[in-house]
Structure 1
Amino acid sequence: MEFLPRSERRRIGLIAGSGPEAGADLWIKVIEETKDLLGERYAGDLDGPRVRIISSPILGLSMELETNDVAVWPELERVFSDIAGQTDFVAIACNTLNYYERQIKAEPRIAELVSVGDVVERYLTEHGHDSVALLGSAPVTKMDNWSAYQRLARKFNVEVPDDTAELHQIIYDVKRFGGNDASVVKRFGEMIDKLESETVLLACTELPLINYKNAQKDLIDVTRLLARRLVEKSFCKDA
């Protein structure tokens, strides 16, 4: 990879609010991935990523996306237009909201959307996966027209948990009680154990916040994949 000089590094935009902690988590991972990518070239603050972030509480309505589409899309489009004027690449810190990728890309935009769908498809292809488990909010795991991951089923075998309603509630509980809550950790672990797939996509920004490890499963933090791709596009010439 050929790195850009500091003066030419591109600006990153982050859209948060669904939820605010998930947006902060993505921002932290952008910083971490910057240090990892640059390695010995990272010389301190002047090599930090150039980031703008907007957090809109209205976007929290995305948990019930089909019901709240009439409120969510106008707000997301407004926020995207606002942040696009100050950045080069924009990511939405919410897997569910990436459903609107098609609407965003359908119109000319000042900044480019880096979508979770593109990032995950790229990762699975590069690593030779043909099957994967998908964990996310109800709109995501339904794998219907409201899912940002519907297209994965055309290239990969996608497993979703049997009790998607319970997973949806776990996500709500992370928002309320945090990822260290004992009940949240226990219920999440039980759900992971029931999955047949060895590779598991944590396709909701709340799920990587759960304090849980599993030595038998490869838990893929989609937030970190997204952060890495943003950093590559910001710092590298041909990313």
Structure 2
Amino acid sequence: MQANPVPILASRKKIGIIAGSGPEAGIDLWTKLLAANRRMHGERFRGDLDAPDVTILSESTLGLSMELAENDEAVWQCLRRTAEAISQRVDYYAIACNTLNYYQPQLDALGLPATLVSFADAVTAFVRENRIERVALLGARPVTDLGPWSHYRALAAHVAIELPRPAQAAQLHELIYDVKTYGGNVDHIRRRFRDILDTLESDTVLLACTELPLIPAEVTGKQVVDVTDLVAHKLARLANGQQP
């Protein structure tokens, strides 16, 4: 005799992840979403039936975001098509790339049936809730120059921002390319990343690039915040019908 099926909560929402910049970023966000969801359920977690419903679309063209100014039109057209496709299947979606979140206003203007959960919004909520006054911002060049292509320009209204010095910013950009190619757990990549972290003065460091959390790095005396993890926690709450 079959056991009675466990009822599925009517309030559960479907989650989407747009991936492709870089190859492991979407997997990392999904893994952290699953972990955040499990923590939320605690001892009541039933396995499959309590796991979030997730759709992932990965487009390698989105990797052109590393040089966004030169590839704006190609990146936007790819991202627009991908967002339109995924929004037909989900209630909320995130883009597993800090740089690509630059397009949040354009995506919101499309009026898609799914709501974008942006990385900068998650960071702003975090610094305000924790009353953080100063952060160091690490990411790809389009992010850390806080120029017209940066998703984080508005963050300066909420917190003082320490940026890498120009030479370090160039080294960091190249390091991110190397993580995309070789992965994060490589000796020379770990060493170069640690050298950059050691020069920062802020007590709180934002890893505003989905490649950087892939680098194992032990840091003492600083709070290193994985922005991907902040977004994953927000998605987990939304998946369970809660307010983010």
User: TM-score, with normalisation over the residues of structure 1?
Assistant: 0.96
Post-superposition CA distance 1:85-110 (Å, at most 9, x none): 00000000000000000111122111
Matches within 5 A, 1:124-143: 124-143=127-146
> Is residue 151 of structure 2 the alignment partner of residue 175 of structure 1?
no
The farther-off stretch of 218-227 and 34-43 is 34-43
Corresponding position of 2:100: 97
Gaps of 5+ in 1: none
Q: Is the 8 A contact 1:6 1:47 kept in 2?
A: no
Of the candidates 9, 13, 26, which is equivalent to residue 12 of structure 2?
9
> Could you tell me which residue of structure 1 aligns to residue 201 of structure 2?
196
Equivalent pair of 2:8/2:49 in contact (CA under 8 Å)? no
Query: What are structure 2's unaligned runs of at least 5 residues?
Result: 1-6
RMSD, aligned α-carbons: 1.2
For residues 75-86 of structure 1, what are the structure 2 equivalents within 5 Å?
75-86=78-89
Q: Does 1:41 align with 2:68?
A: no
Distance 2:241 2:81 in 1: 29
Residue 164 (structure 1) aligned with residue 169 (structure 2): yes
Give the number of aligned pairs: 236
Distance 2:52 2:70 in 1: 36
- TM-score normalised by the chain length of structure 2: 0.94
Q: Which of 123, 147, 150 is 2:126 aligned to? A: 123
Q: Which residue of 1 aligns with 2:24?
A: 21
Farther off after superposition, 211-220 or 186-195 = 211-220
Structure 1 CA distance for aligned equivalents of residues 28 and 19 of structure 2: 10
Runs of at least 4 residues off by over 6 Å: none
Q: Which has the larger radius of gyration?
A: 2
Report the alpha carbon displacement of residue 5 of structure 1 after superposing the two structures with TM.
Answer: 5.5
Q: Secondary structure at the match of 1:132?
A: strand
